[in-house]
Amino acid sequence: MQILRDFHSDTLQPCAVTIGNFDGVHRGHQSLLQELQQAAQARGVQTAVVTFEPHPREFFTPQQAPVRLTSLREKLELFRALGVDRVHVCRFDAGFARMTADEFIHALQDRVHAKFVLIGDDFRFGSGRSGDFALMQHIGTRRGFEVAAVHSVLHDGVRISSTAIRAALAEGRLDLARDYLGRPYSISGRVVHGDGLGRTLGFPTANVQMKHNLPPLKGIYVVEAHSDGVGVLQGVASLGVRPTVRHDARHVLEVHLFEFSQQIYGKHLRVEFLHKLRDEARYPNLEALTRQIALDVNNAKQWFAEHE
């Protein structure tokens, strides 16, 4: 998969393109990408995705922007797994925000070389969100590229969306989030050094670096961890601010891996959240915290035994 910054490249082939934030790359997004691949194959062109970094709402209203389901790296990994040929990552800054709807459409044709555009029927674009599906279709007809709309994907009558997934995760409904995503929700990142408290307490942890400090879920979870060269490992994870030992309110993802003692600092770890055990809590001392961690480990192992 080719990853390009912004629109321009002198060597781009014609493509069928779709546009959006694709946070989570959920089943609705997957359906769209499958339709895009079918359109590309029928026309003998590549598939391309245009996405934005940061999320436009993070640029315009950072305090009100939704928490991310996926980092840019995670999103690109999912695109690659779904067979996308190339991704244009457009930096959403003040200059990009000033681009008119007409300029955006022309960039798709002249710089991305779009021959077919597939977007949601509610998609808005351009300065002031002035562009919509009707405008894209009107200009496409005039300039000689096709435009089609993809419609919502429903699950039990509910439209699958990033917003619905965030709500499910916040409520601890991991099975529902999995239904929406088509896979367990996961967070991935590089394993970094922590403060060593877990090892001191007898439960060493892999500390997974998170690119954003506001994850869509928090608490204590049964997890599986995936890493190249290590395989799939069972464990229990704490995602939160560690109120017993920290006071800086920074979210930390710590994973205790069962029967595992290898050094994995610097490795990239993908942590799949399978079941919520409990909410995070403050304990009066480290002894009480250690007892609770031991109980969490036992409960997680029991969960795995019941779900083999």
| CATH architecture observed for domain 185-306 | Beta Barrel (2.40)
pLDDT tens, 81-119? 999 999 999 999 999 999 999 999 999 999 999 999 999
Whether 302 shows a pLDDT value over 90: the answer reads yes
pLDDT tens, 9-39? 667 899 999 999 999 999 999 999 999 999 9
Distance between CA atoms of residues 28 and 34, nearest Å:
10
Distance between CA atoms of residues 190 and 183, nearest Å:
21
Count Cα neighbours of 139 within 13 Å in the Cβ-side half-sphere.
16
- Is 2-158 a CATH 3.40.50.620 domain? yes
User: In the chain, count of helices (H) and strands (E)?
Assistant: 10, 14
Listed by start position, the domains of the chain span 2-158, 185-306
Distance between CA atoms of residues 159 and 165, nearest Å:
10
Identify the H or E element spanning 77: helix 72-81
Distance between CA atoms of residues 194 and 207, nearest Å:
6
Question: From start to end of the chain, where are the E strands?
Answer: 2-5, 15-19, 46-53, 86-91, 114-120, 146-150, 154-155, 158-159, 186-192, 206-208, 219-227, 231-240, 252-257, 268-278
For residue 282, the model assigns a pLDDT of 87
